[in-house]
Each structure stands twice: as structure tokens, then as C-alpha cells.
Amino acid sequence: MKLSELAQRIGARLRGDSSLDIESCATLDSAQPGQVAFVANRKYVRRIAGSGASAIIVSPKDAAELKADETVSLLIADDPYFAFREAVVALHGWREQPAPGVSRLAYIDDTAVVHELCTIRPFAYIAPRATIGRRCIIYPNCYVGKGVTLGDDCVLYPGVTIYDNCKLGDRVVLHAGCVIGADGYGYATHAKPGEEARHHKIPQAGIVEIEDDVEIGANAAVDRAALGVTRVGKGTKIDNLVTVGHGAGIGKHNLLVAHVGIAGSTTTGDYVTLGGQVGVAGHLHIGDGAQVAAQSGVTHDLAGGEQYGGAPAIPMRQARRTFIAQAKMPEMLTELRSLRRRIDEIEKKLDDG
């Protein structure tokens, strides 16, 4: 693709050689001639000189600071990272999916409804009264339970399981091994007369609803509600090996990074980000736009629009001061002993005096 065409496709202004051939995208450091890279962070601007890329996507501000006689062509975009994303779409495209059609090696119950242009591969299982929307792609070894509803253009990668009656919106993507709607972890511990105490299972009679444009990573699990609905809001992206507990309500456009665990009945606002391995206790609320650093433990409600860190999670500014003080603890201990000795001395001196 000519650089001029790429510029047009990604909505960038071109400064440089419009006739260059661009074949693919790369990171700034690994890029070779014929490749386009990007700089979204000011501190990488200086590395542009050493990059082998034919073209680099930069912000107008960074472009203004780069000399016109640079050997590299620039694609100038207000949001360089998004423009780079557009370049990856233009040059690499999306995964080539299998052609529409229902395999005769799949099992589809007679009462299931499969809408037009779906792809259903061998060893996929569609249970009674399930409904599969238009152009859905269901890979091998998937299980779509009784009464489950999929909207249009969903993709279930291999080995996905969706338990009975759960609902998916449009364009939902579930990666391999993802489990939607397994029973929530709900037990009433009770000793019946003459018996030892046992954890009596509470029927998990609710469902999971996953709204439009949600993507969920490999081997993640979203449990069904005991009563009502566990919800994952529109546009939310969930990474590998995340668990969402029963009755939780995840807002729109959240980012839940790998190994996050959210306990039952907790809700989040919109645009919430939870870093990797964050744990959130049950029955809490995290406000719109809150960002929680990796490995934090959330034990109480968090107000929106703020960054948090630590376990228990506290505002990031405070958490950072705690981290710094923590590193100084051993010397604080030493200092404390030294001060005590000095005070002992002084008191002795005063007593003697």
C-alpha cells in the first residue's frame, strides 16, 4: 500500500514521501524499511532517529518538533495510537474466519434457532431452544446451553461453554475456554439436627447477560446470579483468567486485566479499569472512571474518577507515600532505636545534673 493511501485510510496528514510502499506495522525498535511504527509517548520521540521504519505515526505536537529533513516520513494524527490501530487494521486485517455453514459433525437440537449465515463447526453443541443470531461463528467443542440467546456477529472460539438461559448481545467475542453462567459460589453453612455442619448449595437460579461489543479472554469465568442477573456492560473488555462472581454488575467500557477476581454482588460504573490480579470483595461499588493498580485489594467502595493502589486499596497518591515509607521502614527502626538511646542519655544527664 502506498503511504499516501495509508494516510488517507487512517485519517492522518502525510509529511514525506507519498509514493513509499508500506507492507506492515511494527514497533518503533523492531521496524524495518517497508514498515510503519508509531510514537504516542513523548519520551520515545528521540528513538525515531534510530528506527528503521519507513514511516512513523506521530502527534501534531511531536511532528512540529521534528526537523523537516528527517529521512523518515511522518503520518500526523491527533491520536497516534488509535491511528496506528487503524494502520494495523488496514495492513494486517482481521483473522480469516471459517466460511459460513453448519457442519454435519455439529450437534444442533431441533428446537434451536440458528439464523442465517452462521458458521457452526464440528463438535459444537447447540442445546434445545438456543437462539443463534446472524453471522455468528461457533468454533469446535463449544457448548451453547438450553435457552441461550446470542445476538448477531458473535464469535465463540473453541471450547467456550455458555450455561442455560444466558444472553449475549451483538458482536460479543468469547475466547477459548471461557465459561459463562456456571453456578455462583453460594452456600448456606448449616448443621441440620444430628448432622455435622455442611455447606448447603443455594440454587443459582439467575443468569448472565453480556451486552454488545464485549470481549472476554481465554479461560475466564463469569458466574450466573443466584437470583436475577450478572451483567457485563457494553464495550467492556475482560482479559484471560478473570472471574466475575454471581450477581456482579460490571459497567460499560470497563477494562479488567488478567487474573482479576470480582466477588459477588459488586458493581462498577463505566470506564473502570482494574489492573492485573486485582481482587474486589463482594457487595461493593466502584465509581465511574476509577482506576485500580495491579494486585490491589478493594475492600470498600471506591469513588469514581480517581486512581487507587494497595491492599486495602487507597488513593494512589497516598499509596505511593506508603510505598516510599515502607522502603524506609528498616532505617526508621534503626533511627527509632538511636533516638531512644539519645533520649536515655539526655534524661540521665538531666537527672545527674
Q: Among the options 92, 175, 246, 300, which is catalytic?
A: 246
Q: Order of strands, edge to edge, in the sheet holding 167-168?
A: 113-114, 131-132, 149-150, 167-168, 207-210, 229-232, 249-250, 267-268, 285-286
Among 4, 24, 131, 307, binds its own copies (CB under 8 A): 24
In the complex, least distance from residue 20 CB atom to its own copies, rounded to whole angstroms: 19
- Residues contacting its own copies: total by CB under 8 A: 113
Site string for its own copies, 92-121 (x = CB under 8 A): xxxxx--------x-x-------------x
One-character DSSP codes across 275-292: -TT-EE-SS-EE-TT-EE
Identity of the residue, 136 or 144, whose beta carbon is nearer to its own copies in the bound complex:
144
Q: Return the C-alpha cell found at 261.
A: 477476581
In the complex, least distance from residue 4 CB atom to its own copies, rounded to whole angstroms: 22
Say if residues 223 and 246 touch (Cβ distance below 8 Å). yes
Q: What residues numbered 173-192 form the site for its own copies, per CB under 8 A?
A: 175-177, 179, 182-183, 185, 187-190
- Determine the Cα–Cα distance for residues 329 and 352; give it in Å rounded to an integer: 34
Run of H or E residues at 174: strand 173-174
Q: What residues numbered 127-166 form the site for its own copies, per CB under 8 A?
A: 139-141, 143, 146, 157-159, 161, 163-164
Q: What residues numbered 285-344 form the site for its own copies, per CB under 8 A?
A: 294-295, 297, 311-312, 314, 318, 321-330, 332-333, 335-336, 339-340, 342-343
Q: Is 61 in the site for its own copies (CB under 8 A)?
A: no
Number of H helices, E strands in the chain: 5, 38
Q: What residues numbered 248-267 form the site for its own copies, per CB under 8 A?
A: 253, 255, 257-259, 261, 263
Among 28, 237, 307, 315, binds its own copies (CB under 8 A): 237
In the complex, least distance from residue 193 CB atom to its own copies, rounded to whole angstroms: 10
Sort strands 314-315 and 307-309 into parallel, antiparallel or unpaired: antiparallel
Which residue type does 66 have?
A: L
In the complex, least distance from residue 210 CB atom to its own copies, rounded to whole angstroms: 15
- Determine the Cα–Cα distance for residues 4 and 9; give it in Å rounded to an integer: 9
- Determine the Cα–Cα distance for residues 264 and 228; give it in Å rounded to an integer: 12
92 is catalytic: no
215 CB-contact burial (10 Å; exposed 0-12 / middle 13-18 / buried 19+): middle
Identity of the residue, 117 or 176, whose beta carbon is nearer to its own copies in the bound complex:
176
Site string for its own copies, 189-228 (x = CB under 8 A): xx-----xxxxxxxx-x-------x-x-xxxxx-x--xxx
Identity of the residue, 19 or 189, whose beta carbon is nearer to its own copies in the bound complex:
189
Query: 264-300 burial by CB neighbour count: b if 16+ within 10 A, else e?
Result: bbbbbbbbbbbbbbbbbbeebbbbebbbbbeebebee
The set of catalytic residues is: 246
